[in-house]
Amino acid sequence: MAANAVWARQQPIAREDGPIPLYYRLESRLRGLLASESLAPGEVLPPEGRLGEIYGVSRITVRRAIDHLSRDGLIVIRQGVGTFVNDQPHIDAPCLVSFTDVALRRGERPSSRLLEFGEVAEVEPAASALGLVNAETMFLLRRLRLLNDHPVFMSSAYLPSQEFRGLTADAVSDEGPEQSLYHLIDRFGVALSDGDEATCAVHATPQVADLFHLGRAAPVVQKSCVLRDRRGVAVLYEEAIWGVPERTQVRWEAKLSMIDFPRRAVRQT
């Protein structure tokens, strides 16, 4: 998708009451765009003033968010020239491995709890990641994923309506192999080919804090993934919020945080 189209689709950041500052919410928005590959390496970001207009925030807010992204190596600031998207490393294996399948092979019991299902449009960065235009719709499947009855992460999966016509909440099981998104995707005749994944730290929303019994705005891990079919078309965008940081060890590689899970990194579908 052209960069101009990506920015035209962005919505102002709502000025909600709460402890999460505007610069951090803007930073999370921009991280989502970078993780979804809506912006290609080498593309230039709009100037600070224009970003402020797009998201409804001040230049100071924009500058602080940009500084954090630059510090983490996600963008490159060239004084007098502009701010550019940096080339990002990917973790391909975790994006193509099923959380459900791995858990079952280990003799553990994965399960799911449906939190939200519906057809939505113009939700970013999902719409840009899926290449949707003109308010094309997508299905949102939000679930709490559990392991041996213990909450592990919240999955928000977006699937283009055009590819998954007739999808209903009943199509996804709460337990067994059928709960995997891979099982659902296969039922619709979609053959997956590859995917990309990125990881960043975010503040827990009130919903996430309640699900995992965390403090308000506690730090949690967000993994964003795009899966493509054999045509190279994006057919799934997923954001997973892991609410169990004590089960993870964080290491920094190429200034980008990545997560090492016990025994083996797993995909969250």
Domain match, 53 and 101 both: no
The answer, as to whether pTM is greater than 0.85, is no
Residue 268 has pLDDT above 90, yes or no: no
Beta partners for 264?
none
In a domain, 116, yes or no: yes
Between CA 145 and CA 240 the distance in angstroms is 10
Q: Do both 139 and 239 map to the same domain?
A: yes
For residue 177, what pLDDT is reported?
Answer: 84
Does residue 269 fall inside a structural domain? Answer: no
Q: Is residue 15 part of a domain?
A: yes
Instruction: Of 9-13, 168-172, 233-237, 263-267, give the range with the top mean pLDDT.
Output: 233-237
Residues 120 and 207 in one domain: yes
Burial class for 3, CB neighbours closer than 10 Å (0-12, 13-18, 19+): middle
Residues 59 and 124 in one domain: no
Q: Are residues 197 and 109 in the same domain?
A: yes
Task: Give the tokens for residue 88.
Answer: 């990002």
Q: Is residue 181 packed enough to be buried (19+ CB in 10 Å), middle (13-18) or exposed (0-12)?
A: buried
pLDDT of the residue at 119:
95
From the list 261, 266, 247, 245, the residue with the least C-alpha distance to 104 is 266
How many other β-carbons are positioned within 10 Å of the β-carbon of residue 31? 23
Domain identity same for 143 and 209? yes
Same domain, 168 and 222: yes
Q: Residue 22: exposed, middle, or buried by beta-carbon count in 10 A (0-12, 13-18, 19+)? A: buried
For residue 66, the enclosing domain spans 3-85
- Total number of domains constituting the chain: 2
Q: Are residues 147 and 249 in the same domain?
A: yes
Do 191 and 233 lie in one domain? The reply is yes
pLDDT (tens digit, 9 = 90+) per residue, 207-242?
A: 888 988 888 778 888 888 899 888 889 999 999 998
pLDDT by residue (tens digit) across 8-41? 888 888 776 555 678 877 887 887 777 666 788 8
Q: What is the CATH number of the domain that holds 147?
A: 3.40.1410.10
The answer to the question of residue 213 being in a domain is: yes
High-pLDDT (> 90) share of the chain, %: 27
On whether residue 144 sits in a domain, the answer given is yes
Q: What is the pLDDT of residue 260?
A: 33
Please indicate, yes or no, whether residues 154 and 246 belong to a single structural domain of this protein: yes
Of 66, 85, 104, the position where a domain reaches its end is: 85
pLDDT, residue 257, reads 32
Same domain for 102 and 56, yes or no, is no
| Residue reference for tokens 């994923």 | 145
Let me know whether 75 and 121 are in one domain.
no
Residue 45 resides in a domain: yes
